[in-house]
Structure 1
């Protein structure tokens, strides 16, 4: 294998390893809440991608494929910086700076075309530039409260993770996800 091909292969394998870190990175919010065996960042991103997959593009006025891509990229920087929560004493600006730097480093591990797309997707999500980014942001919040509900059920401790529900109250923007949130609230009441 030629030297340049070896260098490209080395970068590709570094990308594979970086992405793979998300498979074992536990979500900080659940760790801090004392959840036994908390989900990983990749598990969270996977469910968000699957929720994006079931979007009704005509009803929701968004591109399903774009939402899937955004869901798969939105937390990619955490493979380098970790899952930083608002309770860790790091400013929003510093968190953004660290994640941007991480994304720029990740983008260098793949072709320019793919790297630029990863950066564009991350920026689109971070800046909430499109309807798709806003929809995926709602999916992010919804997945969190759905996961909280599932943990409460598994532990047989209704209401234990109420703080997670409180943190997103009134913050959903998209009608489809608002409908899901309303149903989840009703389901939670039925299970108490």
Structure 2
């Protein structure tokens, strides 16, 4: 029978502890702006993002390598919130938010005893933050798309909510649209035409559900 050494046992519990915290961390915007009780957790949001990754991987015929990378990036994109909580734009500027999240992510990865996995997490985190690769842009778009889908879900299933209540979330979604002159994503390179077309398609879908 294979034995698990103590350092490995400790590392497993140390790193999963942060993911467990995401299950108990509410998505702040729903509570602050809509005053929803029993709002979704950050982990719930992450789960639905992975569902979207599977759906679009099938639609666009992504390779297994690309699909796995998107799943990995989606899994860790909000991991720092297990320490910082879900910070909304109204409470803090981006520079301060990024600083806190980078520090938090560093603390989390310090708990990983496997050097290869630690390096992988840090690379994915940096790539996601810079918004330059196809995968990072795709995850940012799916992040917004999931939020907009959740807003639509609340609008349909919470009788006390009106379109006006959830409009700020739709506005946020539209800010990533390809038709906006000040889109919050950098322009996509024309180097890989297929990647460009796939991202533009997701932007179209995001705008559709935001209107």
1:66 pairs with 2:69: yes
Contact 1:49/1:69 (<8 A) preserved = no
CA RMSD of aligned residues (A): 2.2
> CA separation in 2, counterparts of 1:52 and 1:104?
26
Contact 2:73/2:128 (<8 A) preserved = yes
1:25 pairs with 2:25: yes
Once the 2 structures are TM-superposed, how far is the Cα of residue 171 of structure 1 from its aligned partner?
A: 1.4
Once the 2 structures are TM-superposed, how far is the Cα of residue 131 of structure 1 from its aligned partner?
A: 0.7
**Unaligned runs of at least 5 residues, structure 2:** 179-198
Counterpart mapping for 1:1-192 below 5 A: 5-33=5-33, 34-56=35-57, 59=60, 63-88=66-91, 90-110=92-112, 111-156=114-159, 157-159=161-163, 160-173=165-178, 174-185=199-210
Contact 2:173/2:210 (<8 A) preserved = no
Counterpart secondary structure, 2:90: helix
Normalised TM-score (structure 1): 0.85
1:129/1:182 CA distance change after superposition, 3 Å:
closer
**Unaligned runs of at least 5 residues, structure 1:** 187-192
Contact 2:144/2:206 (<8 A) preserved = no
Provide the aligned length of Structure 1 versus Structure 2.
182
Counterpart secondary structure, 2:56: coil
Normalised TM-score (structure 2): 0.78
> CA separation in 1, counterparts of 2:75 and 2:116?
17
- What does the per-residue CA deviation read over 1:159-192, in whole Å, with 9 as the maximum and x for residues that have no partner? 0211111123241352232342354357xxxxxx
Once the 2 structures are TM-superposed, how far is the Cα of residue 57 of structure 1 from its aligned partner?
A: 7.0
> CA separation in 2, counterparts of 1:167 and 1:86?
11
1:7/1:60 CA distance change after superposition, 3 Å:
closer
1:60/1:137 CA distance change after superposition, 3 Å:
farther
